[in-house]
Homo-oligomer: A and B are copies of this chain.
Amino acid sequence: MMSDSSTAPRRRGAGSREARKARRARQPQAPAFITRTLPPYALLNEESLAAIERHADRLLEEIGMEIRGDDVALDLWRNAGATIRDGVRVHVPAGLARALVQRSAPRQFTQYARNPVRNVEIGGEHTVFAPAYGSPFVSDLGRGRRYGTLEDFHNFVKLAYLSPWLHHSGGTVCEPVDAPVNKRHLDMVYAHMRYSDKPFMGSVTTAGRAADSIEMCRLLFGAPFVAEHCVILGNVNVNSPLVLDGEASRVIRTYAQAGQAPVCVPFILGGAMGPVTTAGALAQCFAEAMFCVALAQLERPGAPAILGNFLSSMSLRSGAPTFGTPEPALAYLAIGQLARRLGVPLRCGGNLCASKVADAQAASESANSLWPAFLAGANFMLHAAGWLEGGLVMSYEKFVMDVDQLGAFHTLALGIPLDENGFALSAFREIGPGKHYLGSAHTLANYESAYYDFDLADNNSFEQWSAEGCHDMLTRANAAWQSKLATYEPPPLDPAIDAGLRAYMDTRKRALPDEIA
């Protein structure tokens, strides 16, 4: 994975395998996470941001947020100063949720990986890319669209491990539908631990499965380490609008209690789980997420947490969710500013699309989601690779296409180097007007590292492209993921730890009858 430019051959023919290998080595180093020098985009002024915050406060105070079936969480809020009505509705005095968050939630934290060079910083100027999450289906050109299996799950963990531009192994990279619904979390967490050494996410479907996920981390990292360090994230969806069911609130508390990081994600399909207007959905989303991060702080002050959001628009023609539209893009940009003012890491965006196939629709929609999320300063980007069909499908081809795009954002994040080499005065002096720069010393010195070169793009002539079979990007992506996957070798894992993890899984699996969803 790490580049090794010292052993790479010098320039040979530009098209040769050696040259290509050399180029790989000279591509921008693949860091464990992105550190942006690119400033975040400033969409709204202070006054507008304050207006959204006031509206969010008003929603929490006047409308309130329900917690259904978790008396401990209700007590935590009551003791913090909220008013509980009808046994479920938490009315939070304006400013209280913000104060609770700002009192103890970290602005930035490290998620530790079992391989320390894979540790990621979440928050601040950092961005971490993770694969798509939660699709029941998978697809590839050869086998078509089908339910996901444990084998597919393993494949996507391996592909994410192999990708230099994904920093994180993700969580439910697809649903392994062939495993019992109440046991598959064990297989999933084990797969992330065994087949990758990047950081990962645990189960959130019940508090017990969250506890299993954390327990397995104690076996992998050692319990004392886990007590002091964040080693796992749990992605918890709010039951928008304005409801947190007891299972979700217990999962948030389970992660927080163990010092692990819940990702608190309002899930708002505009017009269904919230208003159709962007300002309203945005304020609701911010209010819900802030409420959940505050709950994590009430459970354990100082627990890491991530402010999430998932905002989608709707097609007027079908009522279906739509992606890559401008309204969520604007909301992303605003919520980035709100998260920084609040001082909590932000989950936002991804390569989202509604298309059924990895075509131009998929690519446009994904770019329209990735660009604003990145410029918003998203710190943790789930769904950054593989997402198709509104999240119903994890696509092998889309996965490698998305990863290729993520690579470009590593370069974008660096901005423009304005140093002597960048300004190239020596080249202008050498070449002057009217001649070409191909042979200049400056070009030769910078050529191989000058430009990001997409792996999957075909920039050849029409004639050459035709002679090679007129393959479109989808076809090329199909070949690419297969050849990539064929190179997989597992990272080493201490056999004693591996045995401990397997024993834990076996015990837990034997203790429970199989459940089918």
Contact = CB atoms under 8 A, between A and B. Distances in A.
Interface of A: 14-15, 19-20, 23, 38-39, 41-44, 48, 51-52, 55, 58-59, 62-66, 89, 145, 239, 241-243, 270-284, 313-322, 324-327, 329-331, 334, 354-368, 371, 375, 389-390, 392-393, 401, 405, 408-409, 411-412, 415-419, 421-425, 427-429, 431-438, 440, 442-443, 446-448, 450-454, 456-462, 465, 470, 472-474, 477
A415 to B, nearest CB: 6
A437 B276 contact: yes
B275 A361 contact: no
A462 B389 CA distance: 8
Given A43-B39, A48-B418, A428 B317 contact: no
30 contacts: A42-B42, A44-B415, A55-B423, A55-B425, A241-B428, A241-B436, A242-B432, A275-B446, A276-B442, A277-B417, A277-B421, A277-B422, A279-B424, A280-B423, A280-B428, A313-B450, A313-B452, A314-B450, A320-B461, A325-B452, A326-B411, A326-B412, A334-B416, A354-B458, A355-B457, A359-B360, A359-B363, A364-B401, A368-B405, A389-B462
A453 B317 contact: yes
Of the candidates A417, A429, A437, the one having the most CB atoms from chain B within 10 angstroms of its own CB is A437
A44 to B, nearest CB: 7
A434 B66 contact: yes
A89 B432 CA distance: 10
A365 B52 CA distance: 34
Contact of A367 (B14, B39, B364, B440): B364
A408 to B, nearest CB: 5
Contacts of A448: 316
Contacts of A461: 320
A393 B461 CA distance: 12
A359 B472 contact: yes
Contacts of A89: 433
Given A63-B433, A417-B279, A317 B359 contact: no
Number of copies: 2
B450 A271 contact: yes
A242 B450 contact: no
Nearest to A369: B367
A15 B364 CA distance: 24
B279 A422 contact: yes
Nearest to A44: B416
Nearest to A287: B428
Contacts of A392: 462
Contacts of A314: 450-451
Contacts of A431: 241
Contacts of A282: 416
Of the candidates A62, A272, A416, A425, the one having the most CB atoms from chain B within 10 angstroms of its own CB is A416
Given A241-B435, A277-B450, A361-B458, 6 more contacts: A276-B447, A279-B417, A322-B453, A354-B457, A356-B462, A359-B363
Contacts of A242: 432-434
A387 to B, nearest CB: 13
Contacts of A58: 425
Contacts of A427: 275, 280
B360 A401 contact: yes
A376 B79 CA distance: 49
A329 B452 CA distance: 12
Nearest to A38: B43
Contacts of A419: 279
